Structure 1
Amino acid sequence: MGYKDIYDRFISAIHRGDLKPGERAPSIRSLAQELGVAKKTVESAYDILIGEGYLVSRGPRGTVVNPDLVIDSAYWNQSPTRLEDPDLRTVVDLRDTRGFFQLGIPSLDEFPYKKWLLLSGKAVRSMTYEDMNYPPVMGHLPLRQAIANYLSISRGVNCTADQVFITNGYNSSLRLILEAMASSSDKVVFEEPGYFFGQKLLERRGQNLHYAPVDSEGVNVDFLETHHNDAKLVIITPSHQSPLTVSLSLPRRHQLLNWAQERRAWVIEDDYDGEFHFSRKNIPSLKSLDVFDRVIYVGTFSKTIMPSLRTAYVVIPKALIPQFYETAEIVETGLPLLPQRILESFISSGAFFKHLKRMRSLYESRRRMVRDAFIEIYGDFFDMPLQNGGMHIVAFLKHGAQDRELCHIWQSHNLQVLPLSMCYAQKKHRKYGLVIGYTNIKSKQEAISALRLPYQQTLELL
């Protein structure tokens, strides 16, 4: 049982009238003993209930149902909204819940807030009447210029501002590309395993979706040539494959680009965390090798700055700019101007480059620290190889395939890990393990304390 189950039970009991305003709730210790869960699990549920106003903490006198609570029975009688796909429900819960080892979140404790707030204030004060109009559909021109300059220096991408489209996240970028370039009958090839939400988006759009396996050198291009020579789009994560974190080898990069040119196919490069490469110098993007202009480059600031900014970008081959512009006019609403101006200032001032340099060093040490803590406690059950970079680590089960059951146990202790098997669309050739974020773990002791919470249950399962 997880904290969400406890939360749901309280909500149900309050709305049914089983727990009335002013009535005392069980103590955390006694409820944890009764349900057979960790105190931390009950504490997490109580914290949410208190934050939402259902419960009130009175210190030593205990916790009670809010005496001023007014129950809207009509609302309660409505059918609740539930996600039908259990895998989607699991990943959405992970994304929407704060906890240890959360995936895809940059180090929020080390972000230069003061600098960001200073630039935000300047951006607000410099707003003019002209800025109150509709923002450009491609995005704020100075921001697009700043991104083009950054990509040229940091990722080796030779592009101009005219090729850069600002979007509000990866899904928005992928939808824009599909709307502009692909019909439902066009074959699209995705990595196996691959990014969960990208896979679900393609499935829901009814794409002619196929998969290419990933090994230690990245996506298998020989497989692509043998089985999918008629593909129109290939979507990959070459810098750090999602979720396995392996890098696409240089021979395969050239092989893929030559194949795309010969077959008149397009490659979508999702470079979601390519900035964070540790073992050697930062590897160039696939786009930097693209002499044929067959690569559509997708980047995001969710991993380098903050997810709540909801800002990403697409670099379009020159030949495709007109059709992307026309599509964007119809399907894209554009981002608010103010965040774009703040982001442009952050990049142009040099603060972004300075922040990335600090994060590379910090992430390298935190990654090693979390891995060492994990191996110290669970080394008998998992293999945990370190790749050359990325913002998460994969712990492969040495035996068995119970990563989903294990994930549920860990989530009940507020450890927001993802089962590796969930990233596979097909049942054959699956690998099993846990995908673990490390970027917000501040010390080895913090990692060890968190990892020990599900130890006994993990031992019993494995």
Structure 2
Amino acid sequence: MGYKEIYARYRQHILEGRLKPGDRVPAIRTLASELQVARKTVEAAYEILIGEGYFVSQGAKGTCVNPQLLLATASEKAAVSAPPASENSPRESKGELRLGIPALDEFPHKKWLLISGKAARTLRPEEMILPPVMGYQPLREAIASYLSISRGLNCQPEQIFITSGYRANLRLILAVLAQPSDKVLFEDPGYFFGQKLLKRIAPNLHYVPVDRQGMDVDYLLRYHPDARFSIVTPTHHSPLAVTLSLPRKHQLLEWAHQNDSWIIEDDYDGEFHYTRKVIPAMKSLDVHDRVIYTGTFSKTMMPAMRVGYLVMPKETIGRFNELGEILETGMSLLPQKILAQFLSEGHFYRHIKKMRILYQQRRRMMLDALQQCFPEMFDFELTDGGMHIVAFLRRGTQDKALAEIWQRHQLRVLPLSGWYMQTQKRYGLVIGYTNIRSPEQAFALLQRTARETREAFK
């Protein structure tokens, strides 16, 4: 490698933003050794970069990218070439009333930091090798214990597979158990990220309508009895938040048993029930081991942690382990250690109990504000819990236009009709409320849109 190549590489990295003003660069001796070139070669490249103003020599402190370097032209080019972020993406958008974001202001940060520090300090050399494919054993034990107490599941730690979240759960389950021709059923309406993923990985995808009792199992039995998989959110349907009725749960379990099919139970926020005791998971009724239970800590703790899990039926453990070795490299160990300690010391249980009370209060704040600001616009069908409200339009079908108005005011609501794939749709707004801290805040947020909303929907 000659000095021109070294010069060109650094210049490109700076212009592309991979090296920023003030960043230090390797010492000449170090870089020459790494690249296996003569020191004079690196010196020549650095001299040109310094001469052109890209680098600055700081004597004994070394060399860095010029802190005064102005790259406006490069930034503008990057901005033009970068694809625009979707205004409707809950993942990328910033703003209020976002879906699926837990009450971050009430998270026990101090306790989490103490446990994190301890986990990092006690990391042993043998733990620095590749982590177990199925997950850190103490975390698997803690999750199995939690599911037994709080969700009514009779499962062993050996049945727990730690993943990186909801989509990793679906990908892994279908990779292990499905054939390309297998029919996969999904709720309609259904979770939009699930729809997008399944369209890519499940060629034979079909939809089953949802009503006020959850998935219409009679429809499933009439039109899709030969399905191999049914993906459901039985505790709180996403997005309608209704609960799958007990007779339908038994219908679905019997269908799976008789047809040797699988039910994938997504229990994304099953902990949050307000008006009665927490409903046990459908998996707790599964005497034939046909339900694959899945969950994450995104809704209960923080989305950024990206830790999920699934409960493997006993007969499938070997297959999950075999393919997991190929598809999965194992979740990073340190977050698993921290989470295991957080669960085993009882902090997670206390946090969930606190959130149930808090979310019930915050839902009431949002409902009161909606009824005060828009008394004639919405109807509500309150369910026993969840983390969002569905405000159904009393008149009209223009929920997408309404959502666009609210989004322009940084209120990240979503139109209900966008969650449907078939023609029979309902219309309204799906509104998160978990980070509303006061009635005054809820009212002030809605007032941002009040005038424009009323003018557009007279």
Q: What band does the TM-score fall into relative to the shorter chain?
A: 0.7 to 0.9
Higher-Rg member (1/2): 2
CA deviation after TM superposition for structure 1 residue 82, in Å: 3.3
Aligned residue in 1 for 2:294: 298
Task: Please give the secondary structure, in 1, of the residue aligned with 2:110.
Answer: helix
**8 Å CA contact 2:189, 2:419 repeated in 1:** yes
Equivalent of 2:180, from 184, 187, 205?
184
Aligned equivalents of 1:198 and 1:133: distance in 2?
A: 33
1:313 matched to 2:314? The reply is no
1 CA distance for matches of 2:303 and 2:78? 35
CA contact (8 A) 2:184 2:202 kept: no
Q: Which amino acid aligns with 2:434?
A: T
- Distance between the aligned counterparts of 1:99 and 1:360, measured in 2? 23
Question: Would you say 1:159 and 2:160 are equivalent positions?
Answer: no
For residue 457 of structure 1, what is the amino acid of its counterpart? E
> 1:374 aligns to what SS in structure 2?
helix
Q: Is residue 2:446 matched to residue 1:458?
A: no
The reply to whether residue 96 of structure 1 matches residue 92 of structure 2 is yes
Query: Equivalent residue for 1:437?
Result: 432
1:371 to 342, 367, 372: 367
Change (3 A) 1:247 1:78: closer
Give the TM-score of the pair, scaled to structure 1. Answer: 0.82
1:20 match? none
TM-superposed deviation, 1:90: 4.2
Name the SS for the 2:400 alignment partner: helix
Unaligned residue ranges in structure 1 (runs of 5+): 1-14, 16-66
Matched to 2:440, the amino acid is Q
**After superposition, where does 1:3-402 map in structure 2 within 5 Å?**
69-73=70-74, 76=77, 80-82=81-83, 89-92=86-89, 94-402=90-398
Match for residue 424 of structure 1 among 414, 420, 425: 420
Conserved 8 A contact 2:88-2:412:
no
Q: Which amino acid aligns with 2:72?
A: I
Question: Per-residue CA shift, 1:342-370, capped at 9, x if unaligned?
Answer: 00000000001010100000011111111
* Number of equivalences: 392
Output the amino acid matched with 2:162.
I
Kept in 2: contact 1:183–1:207 (CA 8 A)? no
RMSD: 1.8
With over 3 angstroms needed to count, the CA separation of the structure-2 counterparts of 1:312 and 1:91, relative to structure 1, is farther
- More deviation in 331-340 or 131-140? 331-340
Pair 1:135–1:77, CA change in 2 (3 A)? closer
TM-score by length of 2: 0.83
**Per-residue deviation, 1:263:** 1.1
Q: What is the CA distance between 1:73 and its match in structure 2?
A: 3.9
CA distance in 2, matches of 1:326, 1:79: 45
2:81 aligns to what SS in structure 1? coil
Q: Matches of 1:105 and 1:337 in 2, distance apart? A: 24
Give, in angstroms, the shift of residue 71 of structure 1. 2.4
Q: Deviations over 1:231-258 (max 9, x none)?
A: 0000000000000000001111111101
Residues 51-106 of structure 1, C-alpha deviation per residue, up to 9 Å, x if partnerless? xxxxxxxxxxxxxxxx96422449817973537xxxx93442x3222221111011
Going from structure 1 to structure 2, the CA distance change for 1:76 and 1:188 (only over 3 Å counts) comes to same
Are 1:144 and 1:165, in contact at CA under 8 Å, matched by a contact in 2? yes
* 1:30 paired residue number: none
Tell me the distance in 2 between the aligned counterparts of 1:71 and 1:369. Answer: 45
1:142 maps to amino acid: P
In structure 2, distance between residues paired with 1:413 and 1:443:
19
Deviations 1:133-187 (A, max 9, x none): 0000000000000000000000001101110000011011110011111122110
Counterpart residue type for residue 385 of structure 1: E
SS at match of 1:116: helix
Counterpart amino acid of 2:449? P
